[in-house]
Structure 1
């Protein structure tokens, strides 16, 4: 089915907003669990999208990538985490970082369930449910895979820093100041899509196997 741009926005809006919102809230929840109350005090451990939306990263950029095609790309306002306040900063950094991508995998499963349930829904709801479910699966899988790339300041980069020996971890963490620029270059040159594609396909196959 060929959708108009307005129809695409209607279908993708909810999955995009909640994929990014739950991802950030998960970081804050994990940080609080491991001893850092920074996000909690800032009111960022919430599912209220308004607390997490970045006008450019959450709205404008996804809308543009949806228009021109390619990988749906975007971000939210990062949840503030003071890793030094974690009970075991280097070890617990891994769990705080992993909480975001893990939440996206859970949400991908939720949207896959919506696709499955859509066949039992009345005709007027069946197709919109299925299309929104497909969008939700893809958005969350892409966000999960993107954030697991071992590039600081992405979650995968923080996981790598947590696992590396101290001296190497310190040196690797210095990449963070250039991380966003590297990410944009990889996106603009198409390398990012080539790297992510096999992992996206593998994750979707796992979800299909579960359902």
Structure 2
């Protein structure tokens, strides 16, 4: 095609019709691209304007396409080997008139680009002898095609390119929603490096023991909140992906005081794993009450899975004397498992603000929610009072924790040593 025509002047479907016309002309060894080939390309675009209009006017476009293909395909031209300049495809002058006519049709209609209907109208209004013969055989009225109200929406090249870019951007954003954050990977790498150090050093620096356990705790916090976010996403709240909750980035879940300072303070004072992070879940978007309960339970479930993974060496090796050779490392691992156990029991308490209450909340009547609403903001204070001033509550709490640790084959001696090493300045 000559440079007077550019892709931006045509719809995507019109370009596809011209491309298919060129491919058909090449297959039949035609010496030039003619309006007849373009007519074939137009009829081959089953979802475009031209076919839509002809079909609405009662024409059998599939039959027309078969007849065109049979007649044009029977004309196998022989091309002699010539110089490079002579081998180049040349445009049939009749086709040039059709393209100019199609541009005029689009301009007259105030359209920003040439559609397949514009090409069809121009081919019928500027017919070659061959097209005139088919037009007469098929009884196509060019004015009826031009004025037919039926129209299939066609896209410009610019629109198609923009849609492609938008789709690519959405796909990239979707991938980034699930991509592990560099923060999480960095913390995991530091934890592994510290673990190797603790394992290989008989008397490790106390501050590095503290760092290993604290980083392990932050990683468990990320896993806990990721569990909530993952189930919320599958339950229907897709906003958790946009907030970055599916990347395991602790910075997306944490608050400097509630997520770092308070849990460490609880650990130092009472030896309790207190998850302080929180993800915002739009429970209104979750599709069922069952799924709302699953979302609430997913956090403690993530802690349970992490605890089992950490406890695998203790479960697989029954000889307790083996823990003495790398005592600091195993004490740190035991302490991390202990923290997971306390976090699970702590979080499953049916107190407002904790996951245990979140599991029950979807099933409670609205009247009870209204009655409890004034106390929701005091759930944390209630826990402190229960833990420090109600001996029966503490007894039951620690008994459940010890049963869990016993099932995981974690020695209380290692836990006590881990707490001592962790509070190295006390």
16-25 or 49-58, larger mean C-alpha shift: 49-58
2:279 alignment partner, SS class: coil
Higher relative contact order, structure no. (Cα contacts within 8 Å, ≥ 6 residues apart) = 1
The change in CA–CA distance for 1:186 and 1:102 in structure 2 (over 3 A counts) is same
Larger radius of gyration: 2
1:50 maps to 251
1:96 maps to 295
Aligned length: 204
The change in CA–CA distance for 1:163 and 1:174 in structure 2 (over 3 A counts) is farther
Residue 184 (structure 1) aligned to one of 357, 363, 384: 384
CA distance in 2: counterparts of 1:141 and 1:60, whole angstroms = 20
CA distance in 1: counterparts of 2:205 and 2:401, whole angstroms = 25
CA distance in 2: counterparts of 1:24 and 1:74, whole angstroms = 13
The change in CA–CA distance for 1:172 and 1:195 in structure 2 (over 3 A counts) is farther
The 5 Å alignment of 1:34-183 reads: 34-68=235-269, 70-88=270-288, 90-115=289-314, 126-165=326-365, 167-168=367-368, 171-172=371-372, 175-183=375-383
The answer as to whether partners of 1:11 and 1:135 remain within 8 angstroms in 2 is: no
2:307 alignment partner, SS class: helix
CA distance in 1: counterparts of 2:296 and 2:369, whole angstroms = 15
2:230 maps to 29
The RMSD of aligned alpha carbons is: 3.2
The answer as to whether partners of 1:31 and 1:81 remain within 8 angstroms in 2 is: yes
- TM-score, normalised on structure 1? 0.80
Gaps of 5+ in 1: none
1:193 maps to 394
1:45 alignment partner, SS class: helix
Gaps of 5+ in 2: 1-201, 411-426
- TM-score, normalised on structure 2? 0.42
CA distance in 2: counterparts of 1:2 and 1:162, whole angstroms = 51
